[in-house]
C-alpha cells in the first residue's frame, strides 16, 4: 500500500477507504504547512525578489494556482498568521479554506461598514462557531453574528464563442447608482442595454485613468523618514543617502523625460537575478534611477528605468539595508 505505483483497482473496499482516509489526513496536514509557508513568504515579501509585484501574482504565475485557489490560500494564510490555532482546525477537518476565506471577507466587510477591526478573540469566537459547517451555513452564521447582509457569490460562465454570462447581486443603493449612470449616458447608449452601458462606463474610466497616468508626474519613491527609530538602527549608507537628497537640492525630472522612459519601458523592469524574469507589472509605475542619485547617478535616460511602486520601494530598502 505504500508503493506509489500500486494499482488501487486491486484494493479491497475496506483497504481503499482506509487508504483514502490516510491520504485525506495527509492532505490536511500539508495544507496547513503550505499556508504557513505562504504566510512567511508574505511577511518577508519574497515575491518581490522574484520580480512579482504581489503575492497573488507569485502564486498564480510561479506555482500555477488558479485565481480562486490563490486567493483562498492568501486569505487563509493571513488569518493563520493572526490566529495560529487555525492550523490544528484545518488538520482535524474542523475548518477548510473556503470557510477561512469567507471569514476574512466578513471581517473586511465589518471594517468597511462599521469602521472597526475585529480583535483576535472575536475572530477566535467566530471560528469556533463555524467549525464543521457547510459553506452556506458558514455564510449565515457570519452574517448573523456580524449583522451583515448575506454574502452572495459573483459568478461568471464562459461560452463556446468566449462570450461570458455574469451573475451579480446589487444592493438597492448600488442599483440606483448604476441606473442613474445609465440615464446619464442614454445619449451614447440609447438601447438601455446593461452590457453596452457597463462597457461604455468602463471604457470611459480606462480613458480617464490613462490620461491621468500620462499627465501625472512620475516620481521615485520618496525617502522614507523612519519615525521613532534610533540612529543605531540606521546604516551609514542610509544616512548618506538621506543627507545627500536633503542637501543636494537636485532638480526633479522633467515631465518629457518621464514620458520618454515610460514609453521606452512600458512596464516594471525589476529582474530576478537568478532566473532573469522581469516583473512586467503595469500598475503604479514610477521612474527609478539605476544608479541611485545619492551614489552619483544622473538623470540621463540611460540611467533611468520604470519600476512598479512595490519594487521601487523594495530596491530602496535593499540599497539602504532597511529591514
List pLDDT tens digits, range 69-95: 999 999 999 999 999 999 999 999 999
What's phi and psi for 59, nearest 5 deg?
A: -70, -40
3 pLDDT band (50/70/90 cuts)?
A: low
The confidence score (pLDDT) of residue 169 equals 80
Query: Contact, 314 vs 231, CB < 8 A?
Result: no
Domain-located, residue 216: no
The confidence score (pLDDT) of residue 88 equals 93
Domain-located, residue 224: no
Examine the domain organization and report whether 264 and 308 are in the same domain.
yes
223 pLDDT band (50/70/90 cuts)?
A: very low
Q: Specify the 3-state DSSP secondary structure of 278.
A: strand
Give the rounded percent of residues in the chain with a pLDDT score beyond 90: 38
- Report pLDDT digits (tens) over 273-304: 888 899 988 878 889 988 888 777 888 888 89
Alpha carbons 140 and 155: distance in angstroms, whole number: 19
Domain-located, residue 315: yes
Q: Which of 172-186, 226-240, 267-281 has the lowest mean pLDDT?
A: 226-240
The contacts of residue 58 (CB under 8 Å, 6+ apart) are 41, 47, 50, 52
Average pLDDT for 220-231: 44
DSSP for 112-174, written as a single string: HHH-----HHHHHHHHHHTTT--HHHHHHHHHHHHT-PPP---EEEE-TTS-EEEE----HHH
> Between these two residues, 153 and 283, which has the higher pLDDT value?
283
Domain-located, residue 124: yes
Domain-located, residue 217: no
Examine the domain organization and report whether 21 and 97 are in the same domain.
yes
**Residue 245 above 60 pLDDT?**
no
Q: Between the ranges 10-19, 30-39, 165-174, where is the mean pLDDT highest?
A: 30-39
**Residue 236 above 60 pLDDT?**
no
**Residue 134 above 50 pLDDT?**
yes
Examine the domain organization and report whether 67 and 104 are in the same domain.
yes
Domain-located, residue 220: no
**Residue 234 above 60 pLDDT?**
no
Examine the domain organization and report whether 141 and 198 are in the same domain.
no
**Residue 154 above 90 pLDDT?**
no
Exposed / middle / buried, residue 32 (Cβ in 10 Å: 0-12, 13-18, 19+): buried
Please list the residues that pair with 307 across neighbouring strands. 286
> Running DSSP on this structure, what letter comes out for residue 269?
-
Examine the domain organization and report whether 75 and 192 are in the same domain.
no
Query: Contact, 279 vs 309, CB < 8 A?
Result: no
Domain-located, residue 157: no
Alpha carbons 311 and 268: distance in angstroms, whole number: 8
Examine the domain organization and report whether 180 and 261 are in the same domain.
no
The pTM for the full model equals 0.61
Examine the domain organization and report whether 248 and 199 are in the same domain.
no
Examine the domain organization and report whether 18 and 105 are in the same domain.
yes
How are beta strands 285-289 and 164-167 bridged, if at all?
unpaired
Mean pLDDT rounded to a whole number for the chain: 82
Domain-located, residue 201: yes
Examine the domain organization and report whether 179 and 128 are in the same domain.
no
Examine the domain organization and report whether 26 and 102 are in the same domain.
yes
Alpha carbons 256 and 260: distance in angstroms, whole number: 6
Examine the domain organization and report whether 238 and 205 are in the same domain.
no
Examine the domain organization and report whether 175 and 91 are in the same domain.
no
Query: Contact, 306 vs 265, CB < 8 A?
Result: yes
**Residue 201 above 80 pLDDT?**
yes
The confidence score (pLDDT) of residue 322 equals 57
220 pLDDT band (50/70/90 cuts)?
A: very low
Alpha carbons 1 and 8: distance in angstroms, whole number: 9
Host domain of residue 174:
170-209
**Residue 243 above 60 pLDDT?**
no
Maximum C-alpha span of the chain: 80
What is the count of structural domains for the chain? Answer: 3
The confidence score (pLDDT) of residue 319 equals 78
Amino acid at each position: 500500500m505504500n508503493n506509489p505505483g500500486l494499482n488501487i483497482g486491486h484494493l479491497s473496499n475496506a483497504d481503499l477507504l482506509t487508504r483514502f482516509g490516510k491520504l485525506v489526513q495527509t492532505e490536511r496536514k500539508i495544507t496547513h504547512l503550505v499556508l504557513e509557508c505562504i504566510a512567511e513568504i508574505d511577511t518577508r515579501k519574497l515575491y518581490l525578489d522574484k520580480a512579482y509585484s504581489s503575492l497573488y501574482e507569485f502564486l498564480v504565475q510561479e506555482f500555477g494556482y488558479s485565481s480562486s485557489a490563490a486567493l483562498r490560500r492568501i486569505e487563509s494564510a493571513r488569518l493563520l498568521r493572526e490566529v495560529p490555532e487555525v492550523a490544528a482546525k484545518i488538520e482535524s477537518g474542523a475548518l477548510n479554506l473556503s470557510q477561512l476565506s469567507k471569514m476574512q471577507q466578513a471581517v473586511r466587510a465589518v471594517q468597511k461598514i462599521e469602521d472597526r477591526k475585529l480583535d483576535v478573540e472575536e475572530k477566535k469566537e467566530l471560528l469556533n462557531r463555524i467549525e464543521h459547517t457547510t459553506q452556506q451555513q458558514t455564510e449565515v452564521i457570519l452574517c448573523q453574528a456580524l449583522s451583515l447582509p448575506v454574502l452572495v457569490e459573483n459568478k461568471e460562465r464562459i461560452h463556446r464563442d468566449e462570450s461570458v454570462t455574469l451573475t451579480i447581486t446589487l444592493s438597492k443603493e448600488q442599483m440606483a447608482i448604476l441606473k442613474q449612470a445609465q440615464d446619464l449616458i442614454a445619449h451614447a447608449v440609447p438601447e438601455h442595454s446593461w452590457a453596452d452601458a457597463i462597457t461604455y462606463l468602463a471604457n470611459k474610466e480606462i480613458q480617464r485613468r490613462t490620461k491621468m497616468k500620462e499627465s501625472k508626474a512620475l516620481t521615485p519613491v520618496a525617502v522614507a523618514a523612519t519615525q521613532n527609530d534610533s540612529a543605531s538602527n540606521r546604516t551609514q549608507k542610509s544616512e548618506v543617502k538621506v543627507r545627500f537628497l536633503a542637501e543636494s537640492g537636485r532638480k526633479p525630472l522633467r515631465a518629457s523625460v518621464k514620458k520618454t522612459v515610460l514609453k521606452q519601458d512600458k512596464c516594471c523592469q525589476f529582474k530576478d537575478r537568478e532566473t532573469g524574469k522581469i516583473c512586467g507589472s503595469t500598475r503604479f509605475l514610477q521612474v527609478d534611477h539605476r544608479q541611485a542619485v545619492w551614489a552619483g547617478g544622473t538623470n540621463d535616460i540611460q540611467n533611468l528605468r520604470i519600476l512598479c511602486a512595490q519594487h521601487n520601494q523594495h530596491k530602496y530598502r535593499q540599497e539602504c539595508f532597511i529591514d
